[in-house]
Amino acid sequence: MTLLHLGLGIAGIACVAIPIIIHLLFRRKRKPIMWGAMRFVIEAYRKQRRRLTLEQLLLLAARCLVVLLLALAIARPILERAGALGGGSARTVYLLVDNGLASTVTDESGQSALERHKNAARQIIASLGASDRVGLVTLGAPASATVVPASTDLAAVRQLVDDIDATDAAMDLNGALDRLRAELGSEDEDAGSGAVVAILSDFLTGSADAGAPLPPVFGELSEVRVLAPRPRQSAPGNVQVVDVTPLRSVVVTGETGGNGRAPQTVRVALRRTGAAVAQPDATTVQARAVSGRAGVVWPATETVVRWAPGQSEATTSMIVDMGAAATSATESGSSVAIEATIDRDAVIGDNIRRAPVTVRESLRVGIIARRRFGAAPSVDRLDPADWLRLALDPTRSAAVEPISIDPASIDAPSLSAVSAVFVIRPDLVDGSGWDRLGRFVEGGGLVVVFPPTEPTVHLWPDEMARAFGLSWRLAREASEFEAPITLAADQPLSLALAHIREELKDLAGPVRVFKTLAIDGEATGASELVRLADGSAWIIAGGVEPRVKEDSAARVNQPSDQDSQQGAEPGASARLQAESRGLVVYVASAPTLSWTNLPAKPLMVPLMQELLRQGVGSAQGGWTTRAGAFPTAPSRSAELLPTAETGANLESILIDAGGRAETAARLAGLYRAVDGSGAARGLVAVNADADAGRTDVQAEATIQAWLATSGASAGSIEWIDDESEASRGLASIADEERSPVSFPLLLAALVVALMETVMARFFSHAITSSPSRRRLFSRLRAPGVSA
């Protein structure tokens, strides 16, 4: 339609010359023939020549103006886009540019999808007029409202488009539409009247989750149109590292016997997406320990994963030497992470994944029980605390250091000195003591609770549930079995006991349980670690409900400044920060021979060791965050600093007093958490969002149905066949919304045509009412003068 109007406009303007040509042709010289009365006509013509010439020029100008106005009326779309007509209303265009992880996919020419999106955005900006406005939102989660509301400074917006970089996060179209909802629907500005929202994306599965509905923005704004490229129908395959799990989450370097320096087992999970799934292939995987310090590199372990046609997921176990890395971390006060990498492919961001590992010279364990004075008792007189000390430190090494804590004197200094607490006498802990234990768990601590042997009626579980925010409850009285019960032959698959899984069946065989303080009902929110033969849970573990402070509660209910600035869903920051930390483990039998023979069996030592070591790691968390989220940091952290190894494009992230990150991390990398004095608190890994790197294509009908959930009807979506011609899509929308011709110009042409008719009639010899014309005709009709 644009080319048609352009051609008609040029042809119409050229037709202006037609009246001039006709005028010149009628003025061509003719051979004069003199006759007698001619001198009177010539004399009258000479007297009226000036006026007649003016009349002819006026008529010629009017006829040319009619043709010109008709041509301009037909060429209205061209003139309005050039800003030559003031009658066209200013347009508002919002550019939503996908710079998520999937936008880094490259084509055969080596050009990334993000570069195509940016080129399309530049074309759209170039097609806008001086009075038009343009806004810019980048969609890498959380969506960032770079230019909102829209601006008339097109050059500045174009520069911002040039500066867009890819992120390792998912496309956050929901957040962008939520941000535009308020802007397009605002009453202060007419932003939503005839506005165009251009969504520039390939709509691969990594960018568009067609199963998640969009906010119904366009249903409320019927005049808003959507401009989008057709979903990409071919994309290269992609192999991702989706998970890295060290089976030993805590490395203790102070152990004798070399266990702290022994190689560690690491499980690496891979996934294939896109066209590569149908083909056989092989992927090289490397895993190594890293500290984040520049120039410090430890040897990597390498293996090859072979893919069968149609296989999309694979898991491999690798042995990583943590000895030198852990020792170096202890000596330098730094931390260690496991890093897994694969071959370079179409999406680079998800070819690497990191998992921090807790490194300790020793583990200090608080045992809450009555203190025993005097010489060590004989075996037959060992109480639960004695049995527990033997299991935690069987060789008297420096790896585990049990510390006695009196139940009546539980205080913050005592808890700050330990990594875990084993509560042997919960019945002697008062309400304030449980509150301190609750804060200890919230800070990333491990608490293991055993039932006491003395009371017949147990009231302490109520205080424990209140302090830890547990949803599961314990029985009031202990249950004694008529016949000793064994442990189940098939135990739950738990990462906490992964290191002894192979030996667990043999070790559990001799164990007998005589008495338990059972879980009352279903243990909601807890996972079973060890199960009895009757199917009941014997050892369970669960995280605590995070306590939200007053300022945090306000964040949940009200959009924060960072939510508003970045276009995130209101309160998203608080919800991301509300991840539970800490771990509570409950063992249903007291560690004494009157309740179970476990203390005297070989399973006691490895079971308590694994509960301690894996529990400490699980309680503190892996300190890993996906790109696009607000990172969580170790307690008392004030700032996250990019490590020298990965910090080229990363910026530091401030942590507020509540432990919340002030900004989201959109790029993957390794951060060093420090406190206010600059002392290291640990490592925090931000990994690429694995789901954002999926390169499976989606049908146009699927994406259209997905966009329809936002209220955009099929008729309101203008598809771009080629992003290199994005401006044509915008022009097509503009032409559909406007009349193909300018009615004011048509009206002006009609008025000028009427004026030309009147002037032609008035200037012709058919009208003789004026005195001058009467004199002229009277002379011509005088005696002796013949017409």
pLDDT for 491 beyond 70: yes
682-704 pLDDT per residue, tens: 889 999 999 999 999 999 999 99
Single-letter amino acid code for the residue at 519:
I
pLDDT for 188 beyond 60: no
- 3-state helix/strand/coil string of 26-47: HCCCCCCCCCCCHHHHHHHHHH
Contact, 750 vs 758, CB < 8 A?
no
Distance between CA 196 and CA 200 in Å, rounded? 12
Higher-pLDDT residue of 21 and 661 is 661
Fold topology of 260-358? Immunoglobulin-like (2.60.40)
Closest CA to 18 of 73, 62, 63: 63
73-112 pLDDT per residue, tens: 766 555 555 555 544 567 889 999 999 999 999 877 778 9
Q: Compute CA distances 572 → 143, 147, 339, 576, 772, whole Å.
A: 12, 21, 29, 6, 89
Higher-pLDDT residue of 312 and 783 is 312
Q: Output the furthest CA–CA distance in the chain (Å, rounded).
A: 164
Q: What is the pTM of this model?
A: 0.73
Distance between CA 417 and CA 410 in Å, rounded? 12
Single-letter amino acid code for the residue at 610:
E
pLDDT confidence of residue 738: 52
Phi then psi for residue 22, to 5 deg, are: -60, -45
Per mean pLDDT, which range of 297-301, 378-382, 536-540 is the poorest? 378-382
Tokens coding 125? 């900006």
Distance between CA 698 and CA 690 in Å, rounded? 18
Q: Where does the pLDDT of residue 786 fall: very low under 50, low under 70, confident under 90, or very high at 90 and above?
A: very low
Distance between CA 203 and CA 96 in Å, rounded? 13
Distance between CA 96 and CA 591 in Å, rounded? 61
Contact, 496 vs 479, CB < 8 A?
no
Contact, 269 vs 241, CB < 8 A?
yes
Is 443 buried (19+), middle (13-18) or exposed (0-12) by CB count in 10 A?
A: middle
In the block, tokens 């370079």 appear at 344
Domains of the chain, residue spans? 2-75+741-781, 90-231+700-739, 260-358, 363-620, 628-687
Edge-to-edge, what's the strand order for the sheet holding 281-290?
250-252, 352-360, 336-342, 281-290, 301-307
Distance between CA 96 and CA 181 in Å, rounded? 13
pLDDT for 317 beyond 70: yes
Peptide bond into 213 cis (omega under 30): no
255-269 pLDDT per residue, tens: 644 444 557 889 999
Tokens coding 158? 């174009």
Instruction: Please name the residue ranges forming H helices in 75-109.
Output: 76-81
CATH, domain range 90-231+700-739: 3.40.50.410
Q: What angle do CA 140, 648, 245 make, to 5 degrees?
A: 70
Per mean pLDDT, which range of 368-372, 398-402, 522-526, 750-754 is the poorest? 522-526
Tokens coding 66? 């009619």
Tokens coding 673? 């958490």
Q: Where does the pLDDT of residue 518 fall: very low under 50, low under 70, confident under 90, or very high at 90 and above?
A: very high
Higher-pLDDT residue of 536 and 574 is 536
Closest CA to 515 of 457, 596, 599, 461: 596
Peptide bond into 149 cis (omega under 30): yes
Please state the length of the chain.
787
Crossing angle (nearest 10°) for helices 38-74 and 771-780? 140
148-187 pLDDT per residue, tens: 999 999 999 999 999 999 999 999 999 999 888 877 766 4
Closest CA to 621 of 518, 510, 524, 544: 544
Q: What is the mean pLDDT of the chain?
A: 80
Tokens coding 136? 């810019």
> Cα torsion at 43, 46, 48, 49 (round to 10°)?
150
Looking at beta carbons, which pairs linking 562-567 to residues 24 or more positions away fall under 8 Å? 562/662, 562/663, 562/664, 563/142, 564/179, 565/144, 565/145, 566/142, 566/143, 566/144, 566/145, 566/175, 566/664, 567/137, 567/142, 567/143, 567/144, 567/145, 567/148, 567/172, 567/175, 567/176, 567/178, 567/179
Q: What is the mean pLDDT of residues 435-458?
A: 90
pLDDT for 636 beyond 70: yes
pLDDT for 200 beyond 90: yes
CATH homologous superfamily of 363-620: Class I glutamine amidotransferase (GATase) domain (3.40.50.880)
Distance between CA 396 and CA 398 in Å, rounded? 7
Same fold, 90-231+700-739 and 363-620: yes
First to last CA, the chain: 58
